[in-house]
């Protein structure tokens, strides 16, 4: 289901906007807790193929836009390429599609090749901790979708656990990114507008009791 | 308006939960991009009075719960206390109230004193960059609330600008935290369930063209 309700309210700052194009997006920030954070981020960007997404950065975050498969692939590539065994690092972001304030621009949609990064990073495995929160907007049965993606995490072996305001999962980095992409693929079928926020963390010095 | 729809769906992992108590919460992570991130976080925790909120931490994030004024005060205190002029640091979090999966527990609600941190940190001023995204859940007119808080940012002199999937604001740290709290106070009056995600950032090395 596509978002068909473009916004025509003249009192809104995004008046007249809205898109029916197949544009997903991810806005994210990468946080290496390390003095070398600039070089870690720049090195990773250099290794990551972002040719299949539209990208923009400011001082707070980066956004990739395009078809879901390419957006998810670019974010995964960037995170795996930035990973260093000795650096505590977190990636915080939000996947989204269908915002009534969205536009037709700032996106690449005409790619037909396979996602470019996964083949390059798929053999690099490490464990990650992750928390997610799913926000289906504008629908009253939003709790049904949240329940579905909780159960999807269970079926993928990611051991979901409810915490206040979020769900925790954990597992191999690629299974977690597969899961995030699968949640987005599901949501764009069932909801006009959704947001999936996520935090992926590696090498935290905080020890947790099991 | 309080959330009166406790969740009774037996297929949901949070079956039977839900609360009508006045519990707001903030789940957040502090990211100092610096080798000293552990001591920066611990020093700040030591300086911050969290006696008016219930708190919990894991390897990914910390959550404070209680009445909004105390939760917002504790988060503000923690961030201001962690600030160092030479450290690039971000705070990512979500304020929330009204989740159908919430519980009556894990909260302090019986505080009557003024918020304890603001008097201690109010004279420490510095500029911050911030992005926010507001998600009113379960209501079809969610875009109206998003428009309202955009205009509220304008009226508080925070220069809001729409970016993909979020709104950017900037200003003095205390005006930004006042704004976040005011958005939450507004949302808990008009919506059964809302989430306000935010990123506050200082000392970014990324130069932006104006």
Chain B from 175 to 194: CB within 8 A of any A CB? none
Residue A20: pLDDT over 80: no
Q: Are A6 and A101 in contact (CB under 8 A)?
A: no
pLDDT at B196 over 70: yes
Residue B8 has pLDDT above 50, yes or no: no
- Is there a contact between A199 and B29 if contact means CB atoms under 8 Å apart? yes
What percent of chain B stands above pLDDT 90? 75
Listed by number, the residues of chain A in 107-166 with a beta carbon closer than 8 Å to a beta carbon of chain B are 129-131, 133, 135-140, 142-143, 147, 150, 160, 162-166
* B32·A33 Cβ contact <8 A: yes
Show which of residues 50-79 on chain A sit within 8 Å of chain B, judged by CB atoms.
56-61, 63, 65
Show the DSSP H helices in A127-205 as ranges. 142-155, 173-190
Mean residue pLDDT of chain A comes to 89
Q: Cα distance from A159 to chain B (closest Cα, Å)?
A: 13
* pLDDT tens digits, B109-119: 767 789 999 99
Of A99, A115, A55, the closest CA to residue A187 belongs to A99
Taken in order A171, A172, A177, A182, the sign of the CA dihedral is negative
Nearest to A129 by CA among A160, A165, A155, A96: A160
Q: Is the pLDDT of residue B74 over 70?
A: yes
pLDDT of A124-138, one tens digit each? Answer: 999 999 999 999 988
Please give the Cα distance from A45 to A42 (Å, whole number): 5
- Phi/psi at B77 (5° precision): -60, -45
Nearest CA in chain B to A15: B147
- Bridge-based pairing of strands B62-66 and B194-202 is unpaired
Q: CB contact, 8 Å: A5 with chain B?
A: no
Q: How confident is the model at residue B105 (pLDDT cuts 50, 70, 90)?
A: confident
Distance between CA atoms of residues B158 and B156, nearest Å: 6
A7: distance to nearest CA of chain B, Å?
Answer: 9
* Rounded CA separation B57/B74 (Å): 14
Task: Tell me the CA end-to-end span of chain A in Å, nearest whole number.
Answer: 41
CATH of A24-202, one of 3.30.70.930, 3.40.50.300, 3.40.50.2300, 3.30.70.370: 3.30.70.930
Q: What is the average per-residue pLDDT within B162-189?
A: 97
Q: Which residue of B has its CA nearest to A87?
A: B35
Mean pLDDT calculated for residue range B121-141: 93
Task: Considering only residues A116 and A10, tell me which one the structure prediction assigns the higher pLDDT.
Answer: A116
| Torsion from C-alpha of B6, B93, B75, A203, nearest 10 degrees | 120
Query: Tell me: the pLDDT tens digits for A36-62?
Result: 999 999 999 999 999 999 999 999 999
ipTM summary value? 0.90
Element (H, E) at A74: helix A68-82
Question: For residues A100 and B146, which has the higher predicted lDDT (pLDDT)?
Answer: B146
Candidates B99, B133, B164; nearest CB to A25: B164
CB contact under 8 A, B163 and A31: no
Residue B1 confidence class, pLDDT cut points 50, 70, 90: very low
Question: What strands, in cross-sheet order, belong to the sheet with B54-57?
Answer: B54-57, B62-66, B24-32, B89-97, B194-202, B127-136, B166-172, B161-163
CB contact under 8 A, A29 and B129: no
Across chain B, mean pLDDT equals: 89
**Pairwise CA distance, residues B161 & B141, whole Å:** 21
Partner residue opposite A59 with nearest CB, options B29, B61, B204: B204
Task: Using the predicted structure, report yes or no on whether residue B4 has a pLDDT greater than 50.
Answer: no
Distance, in Å, from the CA atom of A166 to the CA atom of B32, rounded to the nearest integer, reads 23
**pLDDT, tens digit (0-9, with 9 covering 90-100), for A164-178:** 999 999 999 999 999
* Ranges of each domain in chain B: 24-202
**Which chain B positions have a beta carbon within 8 Å of A90's beta carbon?**
29, 31, 60
Contacts of B204 in chain A (CB under 8 A): 59-60
pLDDT above 50 for B58: yes
B contacts of A138 (beta carbons < 8 Å) = 139-140, 142
Do residue A94 and residue B165 have CB atoms under 8 angstroms apart?
yes
């Amino acid at each position: 289901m596509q978002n068909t309700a473009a916004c025509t309210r003249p009192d809104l700052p995004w008046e007249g906007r809205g898109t029916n194009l197949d544009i997903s997006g991810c806005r994210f920030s990468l946080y290496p807790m390390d003095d070398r954070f600039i070089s870690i981020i720049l090195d990773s960007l250099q290794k990551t193929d972002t040719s299949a997404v539209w990208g923009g950065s400011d001082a707070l975050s980066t956004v990739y836009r395009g078809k879901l498969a390419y957006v998810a692939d670019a974010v995964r590539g960037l995170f795996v390429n930035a990973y260093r065994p000795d650096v505590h690092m977190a990636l915080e972001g939000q996947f989204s599609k269908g915002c009534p304030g969205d536009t037709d621009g700032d996106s690449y949609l005409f790619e037909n090749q396979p996602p470019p990064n996964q083949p390059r990073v798929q053999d690099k495995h490490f464990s990650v901790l992750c928390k997610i929160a799913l926000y289906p907007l504008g629908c009253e049965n939003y709790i049904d979708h949240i329940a579905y993606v909780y159960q999807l995490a269970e079926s993928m072996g990611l051991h979901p656990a409810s915490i206040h305001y979020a769900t925790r999962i954990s597992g191999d980095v690629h299974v977690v990114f597969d899961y995030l992409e699968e949640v987005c693929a599901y949501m764009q079928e069932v909801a006009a507008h959704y947001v999936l926020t996520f935090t992926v963390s590696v090498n935290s010095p905080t020890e947790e009791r099991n």
